[in-house]
């Protein structure tokens, strides 16, 4: 085994890096402490806790289809418009984007601003649509 590793060190390194890249996205949310919710969990939060859905995609993405009653603030404008969300500071908020990356950043921003119940929609609107949940235009 040791001889194989010595002769194939680059393959071993490549395999290790590839494995890390596969695992990193799921670890990032857990390490950052940012709660994630899947589409079914999001529906439960919307129905049982009257969660606000915050869509942080760009305007054209939002216009192509979004979760019903979602509030739209593009990620790049979130810090400037955080004051408009003040009344939701202690309310449950489900944040979504296309795949879950921008919404994770938005969740971190909101948490730093004192929002207490912020959830990232795991997989974003793509996961929502794959779960055959409705969208509106």
Question: Could you tell me if 27 and 68 lie in one domain?
Answer: no
What residues act catalytically? 97
Encode pLDDT of 108-118 as tens digits.
999 999 999 99
On the question of pLDDT at 13 being above 90, the answer is no
Its domain, for residue 24, covers: 1-31
Q: In 10 A of CB 94, how many CB atoms? A: 26
Question: Could you tell me if 43 and 19 lie in one domain?
Answer: no
Q: What region does 57 belong to: left with phi over 0, alpha with psi -120 to 50, or beta?
A: beta
Encode pLDDT of 36-49 as tens digits.
999 999 999 999 99
On the question of pLDDT at 56 being above 80, the answer is yes
CATH number for the domain spanning 76: value is 3.40.250.10
Of residues 32 and 5, the one with the higher pLDDT is: 5
Question: Could you tell me if 61 and 113 lie in one domain?
Answer: yes
Residue 114 and residue 93: Cα distance in Å, rounded?
12
Q: Compute φ and ψ for 98, nearest 5 degrees.
A: -75, -50
On the question of pLDDT at 102 being above 70, the answer is yes
Question: Could you tell me if 2 and 54 lie in one domain?
Answer: no
Torsion angle of alpha carbons 53, 59, 60, 64, nearest 10°?
Answer: 20
Q: Report yes or no: 55 and 101 within 8 Å, Cβ to Cβ.
A: no
């Amino acid at each position: 085994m040791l001889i194989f590793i010595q002769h194939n060190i680059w393959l071993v390194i490549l395999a290790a890096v590839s494995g890390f890249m596969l695992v990193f996205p799921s670890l990032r949310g857990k390490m950052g402490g940012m709660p994630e919710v899947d589409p079914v969990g999001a529906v439960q939060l919307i129905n049982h806790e009257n969660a606000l859905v915050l869509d942080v995609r760009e305007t054209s993405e939002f216009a192509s289809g979004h979760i019903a009653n979602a509030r739209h603030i593009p990620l790049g404008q979130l810090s400037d418009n955080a004051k408009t969300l003040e009344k939701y500071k202690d309310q449950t908020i489900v944040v979504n984007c296309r795949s879950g990356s921008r919404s994770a950043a938005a969740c971190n921003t909101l948490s730093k601003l004192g929002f207490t119940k912020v959830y990232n929609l795991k997989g974003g609107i793509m996961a929502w649509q794959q779960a055959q949940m409705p969208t509106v235009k």
